[in-house]
Amino acid sequence: MAGVVSERFYRLILAHPLWVIAAIATLTVFLGWQARRVELNSSIEAFFPEGHPAVTQDHEIKQVFDSRELILVALLNEDGVFNPRTLTKVRDLTQEIWGLAVATDRDAQRLEAWADRLGPPYQRPIQGILEDGLGASDRGPVNNLWIAIEEADIDSVNAGFRTFVDELRLKLSPVSDVISLAQVDNITATESGLDVHPPMSSVPESGDELAALTATVFENEMFVNGLVSEDSTGTVILVELSFYYDDHIDLAHALFRELEALASPYEGPEEVHLAGVPMVNVYTTKYMGGDLARLMPLVIVLVIVVMWFAFRTIKGALIPLAVVLVSIVWTLGVMAMVGRPLTLMTSVMPIILVAIGIADGIHVITEYQLKWARHRDRDQAIVATMRAMGAPVIFTSLTDMAGFGSLAISSVASIRDFGIFTSVGVLAALIFSLTFIPAMLKLMEPPHGRSLVTAGGRVTQFLERIGQIAIQHRRWVVIATVAASAVAALMLPRIQVGSRMVGYFKTRSKIVQASELINERFGGTEVLNVVIDTGRPDGLKEPEVLSKMAALQDSLEARVLVGYTTSLADYVRRIHYVMNNADPAFNRIPFEREQVLETDWQEVDGMEIEIEREVNVNGRDLIAQYLLLYENAGGDDILKLANFDYSKANVVAQIRTDHTPHLREVRQTAIDFAQREFAPDADVSFAGCSNLCIVADDLIIPSQLKSLGLALVVIAILLVLIFGSVRRGLFGLLPLVVTILMVFALLAAFGIFLDAVTALIASIVLGIGIDYSVHFLWRYETAHAKGGSVDAAVRETIVTSGRAIVFNSLAVATGFLVLLVSSFWPVIHIGWMVAGSMLIAAALALVLLPALLGIETRKAPNGQGEVI
């Protein structure tokens, strides 16, 4: 099988080295140019494959209740927020946020270009829009432009223009709703009657006015923990986006920059904090970019250092480095071309490609140094090197691709991307190694005389010792391995699944502080939507349904981590209370039958007198009338809590943590309650970021097990094919199976939660670690084929291949240790765990394989270890 790639191929390359390099450089420049468009996305939706039912349902529910992601702007003042200065800030911020627009000069230029291109029908309105620049004051005219496009014949409007104007509308009004003390429905009974107005229509100045406002706010339990903190040291402005984060990431980031810029002048002595799921996404993306910018140079420097130690030549280091850099550029280019984003998972990929790509380079250069020493002829040495190394390089690439490629069956989109694109990177490194390296070697000065084998005398001695020991004590090696595996297997049930959003940040960044503060003082930053579908129009007007909704809220709020809930039931209870002269006895959902006092006039002795009598009325009618009254009073906040025909309700729970095991408990509370109280009359489903996080968790374990199983099977088949022996194939796999068991045992031992990121560790270890077995066994076969004893063949293998394995595992481990400076906990875990596992895998390859080969030989009848 040695001639996998024929000698003619290399001769061709050696005849035209410059052409090869030029071709690869062109391709690299092209893909590099594509790569600049690669997008960073850290939203939870990016976890899911396109069209996943959980995401579809989430979007449907959001549409039914016209709700989109919220940003929380918290104003904190240790002396209390009920003072004219802080309240003025609340009012001004509310207004300024409404006025936010993120259109740029570039948008204005593009609009002008469209006007020139489209001519008369749109030219005049566009000129009007552009007259005094592009800003919030152009919302009306731009909307009118949109209406004109919408009402025009669809074929007559340029699709690009349509999209541009639609996007421009969002840029001019990126915020669809702002809720604050200055802008929220407060249902009250005043001297003039029932009223629905914000509690603060103007900023109070006198002490009396301030006291009155404080009383008003705290009198309405719907505000406490929702809009103001219980201790009145903080108040929140809720900002609803007019678009879905996932659809307009650039726009979202522009909005958040503006929001931060807008909020900062309001600091002091008040603290202003921005939090909420979209903000977490923004910060994750920001830190991901920072990680890449920091880790890449670091990993490159480290690789150069390690290579220098291995080869004592900078040139020797540059070639493997070129391999990895080019494979990264190609991979990112392909990702951009197929429109997949970099996520927290795929952002680790470049580092992994460095670790893997470097291996091919190391093996080839090591071999070249040996061959040069023997042939002293450049062409001959190169061809000999490539003939010797071509096969193992191709085989290891295939096993890598099998290891990572098996993740392509994952149901988590970003894990799938990770698998697919890491495979693409491995393939790129392979192509590059087989073409660019020989071409470069041809052009470069051959290495200095210092041969590698003599350079590492002590390492060689050490390796020989290990080989001897492993073969001599092979039984003990096997027993120890089995024992360790058994212990590891016992740990497996202790692995916990759970992920976070904010909790992933290592640093105490602004978003972490903001989220913590808001979780401390308000209802919580995470949202779980519990959707109750009665299946019948006006179902929500039934007293029983509303009472159960209120009870559901109570059972949710009984959980410490649920800080605030709201639903239609709150509004009905509030109106019932207010309509009954704020009598605490009526601070509840109306009963099925209510007794009310009816006033009437009767003629008694020719005089009209007012008489009162008690009558029974229907609670359902009461609720219907309250809702009509609320609508008529201009209230529209309930549109987010009930659908148009009052068949579906949205119960919103705010949760003070982002850790999925806790979110799951909250959701379970709702599920249990629903099964007890609502089934079978009403269906309960879930939406919101919390639910998506839980569902994402559920996807991880089964799909990781499937991927891992698939990878093991595919790699086993590959090994059997490569070595032409089932037993050899299984030998090769065994060190990795043990290593993976160790990985999971480490997760359990350190209490590290298995999430979409840490779940990758096993696949990474398998993909990279299998190389060691392949190299070792391949070299062993070659050595053994030359004749001689098994012991001699093992010894030769261990000093050549074993040496490369040691350096490779050190290089890979060092590369992964770079991840320790990442800003995200799961990435840090990948760093040290893969580094550790690589050493375990290398050690097992060096110890377990000789031991197994030894046992195999002793059992073989002719004592020569001829294998099946």
Partner 1 sequence: MKKQLALFGLAVPLLAAPAIAQVPPTGREVMETHKMQDRTQDTEAEIRMTIISARGGTRERDIVMWTKTRSDDTQMQLIRFQSPADVEGTGFLSIENLGREDDNWLYLPALRKTRRIAGADKRDSFVGTDFSFEDLEPERLDSYEYRLAGSEIVEKSETWVVEATPTDPKKIEETAYGGRQLWIDKKNGVMRRSEFYGRDGTFLKRLNAEDVRPVPGTDKWRAYRLTMEDILGGSRTVLEISSYHIDEGVPEEYFTQRYLRRR
Residue ranges that bind partner 1, judged by CB under 8 A: 63-64, 124-125, 128, 137, 139-141, 143-144, 147, 190, 192-195, 197, 538, 541, 579, 594, 596-599, 601, 615, 617-622, 624-626, 628-629, 631-634, 636, 643-645
* Residues 568, 546 contacting (CB under 8 angstroms): yes
- Shortest Cβ distance from residue 209 to partner 1 (Å)? 19
- Shortest Cβ distance from residue 143 to partner 1 (Å)? 5
What letter does residue 674 receive in the DSSP assignment? I
Report the C-alpha gap between 286 and 289 in whole angstroms: 5
CA dihedral 805, 810, 812, 815 (to 10 degrees): -160
* Residues 42, 288 contacting (CB under 8 angstroms): yes
Of the CA atoms within 13 Å of residue 136, those in its CB half-sphere come to 10
In 3D, which of 568, 547, 687, 693 has the Cα closest to residue 630? 568
Q: Which one, 142 or 402, has the nearer CB to partner 1?
A: 142
Report the C-alpha gap between 508 and 814 in whole angstroms: 26
- Rounded to the nearest 5 degrees, what angle is found at the Cα of 73, between the Cα atoms of 70 and 75? 155
Q: Which one, 468 or 580, has the nearer CB to partner 1?
A: 580
Q: Which one, 88 or 580, has the nearer CB to partner 1?
A: 580
Per DSSP, the three-state class of 599 is: strand
Report the C-alpha gap between 7 and 798 in whole angstroms: 28
- Shortest Cβ distance from residue 605 to partner 1 (Å)? 20
Tokens representing 5 are 């790639």
Q: Which one, 106 or 644, has the nearer CB to partner 1?
A: 644
Q: Which one, 210 or 633, has the nearer CB to partner 1?
A: 633
Report the C-alpha gap between 404 and 760 in whole angstroms: 9
- Shortest Cβ distance from residue 66 to partner 1 (Å)? 9
- Shortest Cβ distance from residue 575 to partner 1 (Å)? 10
How does DSSP assign 412-451, residue by residue? SHHHHHHHHHHHHHHHHHHHHHHHHHHHHHHHSPPPPS--
Q: Which one, 50 or 612, has the nearer CB to partner 1?
A: 612
- Shortest Cβ distance from residue 570 to partner 1 (Å)? 19
- Shortest Cβ distance from residue 251 to partner 1 (Å)? 19
CB atoms within 10 A of CB 483: 10
* Tokens 């040695």 found at: 2
Report the C-alpha gap between 522 and 516 in whole angstroms: 10
- Shortest Cβ distance from residue 673 to partner 1 (Å)? 27
Report the C-alpha gap between 365 and 811 in whole angstroms: 15
- Shortest Cβ distance from residue 170 to partner 1 (Å)? 13
* Residues 362, 336 contacting (CB under 8 angstroms): no
Q: Which one, 41 or 173, has the nearer CB to partner 1?
A: 173
* Residues 295, 820 contacting (CB under 8 angstroms): no
Q: Which one, 193 or 861, has the nearer CB to partner 1?
A: 193
- Shortest Cβ distance from residue 627 to partner 1 (Å)? 9
- Shortest Cβ distance from residue 192 to partner 1 (Å)? 5
Tokens representing 270 are 């008040």
Terminal-to-terminal C-alpha distance of the chain: 17
- Shortest Cβ distance from residue 617 to partner 1 (Å)? 5
Report the C-alpha gap between 307 and 313 in whole angstroms: 8
Q: Which one, 442 or 576, has the nearer CB to partner 1?
A: 576
- Shortest Cβ distance from residue 816 to partner 1 (Å)? 51
Tokens representing 452 are 């590698």
Q: Which one, 240 or 665, has the nearer CB to partner 1?
A: 240
Q: Which one, 244 or 825, has the nearer CB to partner 1?
A: 244
Helices within 346-408 (DSSP H only): 349-375, 378-405
* Residues 519, 525 contacting (CB under 8 angstroms): yes
Residues 6+ apart with CB under 8 A from 80: 86, 232, 233
In 3D, which of 159, 174, 165 has the Cα closest to residue 145? 165
- Shortest Cβ distance from residue 542 to partner 1 (Å)? 10
- Shortest Cβ distance from residue 625 to partner 1 (Å)? 4
Q: Which one, 144 or 264, has the nearer CB to partner 1?
A: 144
Q: Which one, 56 or 668, has the nearer CB to partner 1?
A: 56
User: What does R_g of the chain's alpha carbons equal in angstroms?
Assistant: 34
- Rounded to the nearest 5 degrees, what angle is found at the Cα of 136, between the Cα atoms of 133 and 140? 100
Per DSSP, the three-state class of 743 is: helix
Q: Which one, 143 or 232, has the nearer CB to partner 1?
A: 143
* Residues 289, 40 contacting (CB under 8 angstroms): yes
Report the C-alpha gap between 353 and 768 in whole angstroms: 10
Q: Which one, 193 or 457, has the nearer CB to partner 1?
A: 193
Report the C-alpha gap between 662 and 498 in whole angstroms: 9
